[in-house]
Chain A
Amino acid sequence: MRNRLPQLRRERHLSQEKLATMLGVSRQTIISIEKERFDPSLPLAFQIAGAFDLRIEDIFTPDAPL
């Protein structure tokens, strides 16, 4: 799944560590999501969307159109 997490994070001047702390997950999780090696769980995706005040589909898009 593709995502705009690195871009959104930089726009809000958040470090990976800070975002990880906000979401209650490890920094490695943020790194893996940003490198698109790990698809977050639905609750985590909702949390990420909430942290940026956006909808999930504004951040994550499927590789192939549904």
Chain B
Amino acid sequence: MCEKLAKKPCRFGRIKPSGPPALRLAIPAGLVVATVIGIALQAAPVFPHNTMNAWLRALLIGVCVAPAAITLVWTVVVDRSTIPEALPHPEHSVECTWYDQAAKDSFHLLLAGTGLGAALTSFWLPPMVSWTLIAVFAFAALAFAVSYLIRRES
């Protein structure tokens, strides 16, 4: 495949400029990760009355998790400079600014939505709904505070 033409770009990139295709490592490593997750989760008491065979349950969980696991390993091992058409400086592109702006807007809407939602639902809905919204609000605020402090200190 890609290894015969060392200089030829590989569609999903390489581990390093003259290295093997990133998928060659990502697929087996991702499958191993998916297998481990499948075996670990099949025993989780999510469905206590589940009568399905344990190995079949592990297989199904592994199959579902495998695409995400392979993608995750790929993002870690790939050298993005070897991906064809990848921008050398995406951080200076306007899309990066759009992303930052959208993330900021989403965060503010999340705070406003969960804050107002918690207040309003406390009148009409069971307390669990309001507490859940408060927990989401608190988590978002905490994540913001930690992120802000990390940036201030670095």
Q: How far is the CB of A23 from chain B (nearest CB, A)?
A: 7
* Chain A interface bracket (under 10, 10 to 19, 20 to 34, 35 or more): 10 to 19
Q: Which of B20-28, B86-94, B112-120, B136-144 contacts A (4 or more CB under 8 A)?
A: B86-94
Q: Is the contact region of chain B dominated by helix, strand, or loop, or is it mixed?
A: helix
* Chain B interface bracket (under 10, 10 to 19, 20 to 34, 35 or more): 10 to 19
Q: Is the C-beta of B75 less than 8 angstroms from some C-beta in chain A?
A: no
Mark A33-48 against chain B: 1 for CB-CB distance below 8 A, else 0.
1000010110110010
Q: Is the C-beta of B153 less than 8 angstroms from some C-beta in chain A?
A: no
Partner of B89, one of A32, A38, A44: A44
A28 adjacent to B95 (CB under 8 Å): yes
B95 adjacent to A29 (CB under 8 Å): yes
Q: Is the contact region of chain A dominated by helix, strand, or loop, or is it mixed?
A: helix
Tell me the chain B residues, 58-114 only, with Cβ under 8 Å from chain A.
87-95, 97
Q: Is the C-beta of A24 less than 8 angstroms from some C-beta in chain B?
A: yes
**CA distance in complex: A43, B92 (Å):** 8
B88 adjacent to A26 (CB under 8 Å): no
Tell me the chain A residues, 14-66 only, with Cβ under 8 Å from chain B.
23-26, 28-29, 32-33, 38, 40-41, 43-44, 47
The residues of B that contact A41 with a CB separation of less than 8 Å are: 91-92
Q: How far is the CB of A35 from chain B (nearest CB, A)?
A: 10
The residues of B that contact A43 with a CB separation of less than 8 Å are: 89, 92
The residues of B that contact A25 with a CB separation of less than 8 Å are: 87, 89-90, 92-94
A residues near B (Cβ < 8 Å) are: 23-26, 28-29, 32-33, 38, 40-41, 43-44, 47
CB-defined A-B contacts under 8 Å, sample of 26: A23-B89, A24-B92, A25-B87, A25-B90, A25-B93, A25-B94, A26-B87, A26-B90, A26-B93, A26-B94, A26-B95, A28-B94, A28-B95, A29-B93, A29-B94, A29-B95, A33-B94, A38-B94, A38-B97, A40-B92, A41-B91, A41-B92, A43-B92, A44-B89, A44-B92, A47-B92
